[in-house]
Amino acid sequence: MSTFASRLSSPRFVRKLSWISAFVLFAGVIAFAIAYFGGSTDKTDVRAATNEPLPTKTVPTVPLDKRARQVAGRFVVTAVTRQDLKTAWGITHPELKTGYTYKQWLTGNIPVPFYPAKSIDAASFKVEESHANEVVLDLLILPKKGAVEPAQAFFVSLKSVGKGKQKRWLVTSFIPHGGSSTAVPNAGQ
């Protein structure tokens, strides 16, 4: 047998060849997994690296649907004052009711700030955003003269559900805001 053939059949060479084969197999499995399942989730846009603005999709502004404004007003009278929680449930979007059953909602322990009805003199609305299916209003609740409660400002968000004659507006959020309201007193009555 030749020297070359004896080296190929030596136990030391076979062991090295086994280790090299295992390493190549392992590297192949890793390469396949990266190629098949994807490598990095970092999908950086080249324009972002060049300070070029990314394109944005703008939603067209439309005149405020008077039905959205009416639902916001009814929400104040029913949910905020806690006077008709049954009706409030029906005009509240599922996003705002998340985590509440109908029975829990009727207890009045709801994710909506309370303002006593007896203290409300007026409520004014200013349109912040108005789109075909979403509306955001800036609401200012004004107290009656001598009421203990101060004027309070809120952002009221609504979404439409349904289409055509079945379209209706539901309140998705009712959030107090820290600054002063831009709604003009008595403008929304």
In a domain, 61, yes or no: no
Please say which residue of 54, 80, 97 terminates a domain: 54
With respect to residue 110, please indicate whether it lies within any of the assigned structural domains.
yes
Where residue 180 falls among pLDDT bands split at 50, 70, 90? low
Residues 6+ apart with CB under 8 A from 133: 159, 160
> What pLDDT does 177 receive?
84
Nearest to 155 by CA among 119, 99, 112: 112
Q: Is residue 133 part of a domain?
A: yes
Q: How far is CA 64 from CA 25, 130, 176, in A?
A: 65, 6, 21
The answer to the question of residue 187 being in a domain is no
Q: What pLDDT, on the 0 to 100 scale, is given for residue 96?
A: 95
How confident is the model over 23-40, as a mean pLDDT? 71
pLDDT tens, residue by residue, 123-166: 999 999 999 999 999 999 999 999 999 999 999 999 999 998 89
What pLDDT is attached to residue 1?
Answer: 60
Is 44 contained in some domain?
yes
At 91-132, the pLDDT tens digits run 999 999 999 999 999 999 999 999 999 999 999 999 999 999
Q: Is residue 48 included in any domain, yes or no?
A: yes
Tell me what the mean pLDDT of segment 14-43 comes to. 71
Structural domain includes residue 6: yes
Averaged pLDDT, 74-90 = 96
pLDDT of 7: 65
What does the mean pLDDT of the chain come to?
A: 83
pLDDT of the residue at 187? 46
Do 39 and 130 fall into the same domain? no
Q: CA separation (Å) from 149 to 88, 117, 145, 163, 183?
A: 22, 11, 10, 40, 18
- Domains of the chain: total: 2
189 near 122, Cβ under 8 Å? yes
Same domain for 123 and 38: no
> What residues make up the domain containing 20?
1-54
**CATH code of 118's domain:** 3.10.450
Buried b (16+ CB within 10 A) or exposed e, 3-15: eeeeeeeeeeeee
Q: How far is CA 83 from the centre of its chain?
A: 28
pLDDT at 66: 93
Residue-wise pLDDT tens digits, 32-59: 777 777 655 555 555 555 666 667 777 7
**186 vs 115, higher pLDDT:** 115
Residue closest to 120 by CA, chosen among 138, 88, 142, 139: 142
Please report whether residue 189 resides in a domain: no
Instruction: Give which of 71, 77, 101, 83 is closest to 162, Cα–Cα.
Output: 71
